[in-house]
């Protein structure tokens, strides 16, 4: 019974918003990848290429900043 309590306590020490942090990093990587792959096709219209990558990168950065702020706020609130 005590071992179950220890494992539950250690599991709760992890990041609460880890999936969102992963999503943010994934969006940033997807943005750079989209920019790179679309840049390989020289026949495409130039105005489309940077916008698609920038949209993913911007959304990914926003998700990361908000998620990390929520994580920090939760930890500070827990310690007070």
Contact between residue 31 and residue 56 where contact means Cβ atoms under 8 Å apart: yes
Residue-number span of the structural domain to which 47 is assigned: 17-79
In a domain, 59, yes or no: yes
In a domain, 67, yes or no: yes
In a domain, 5, yes or no: no
Burial class (CB in 10 A: 0-12, 13-18, 19+), 10: exposed
Contact between residue 19 and residue 64 where contact means Cβ atoms under 8 Å apart: no
Q: pLDDT tens string for the chain (80 positions)?
A: 555 555 555 556 677 888 888 899 999 998 888 888 877 776 666 555 567 788 888 999 999 999 999 988 988 888 87
Q: Which helix (H) or strand (E) holds 14?
A: none
In a domain, 11, yes or no: no
Total domains present in the chain: 1
Query: Taking the model in full, what pTM does it have?
Result: 0.68
In a domain, 60, yes or no: yes
In a domain, 42, yes or no: yes
In a domain, 4, yes or no: no
């Amino acid at each position: 019974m005590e071992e179950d309590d220890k494992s539950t306590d250690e599991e709760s020490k992890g990041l609460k918003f880890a999936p969102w942090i992963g999503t943010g990093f994934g969006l940033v990587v997807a943005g750079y990848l989209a920019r790179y792959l679309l840049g390989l096709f020289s026949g495409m219209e130039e105005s489309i290429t940077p916008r698609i990558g920038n949209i993913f990168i911007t959304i990914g950065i926003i998700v990361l900043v908000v998620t990390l702020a929520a994580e920090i706020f939760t930890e500070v609130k827990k310690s007070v």
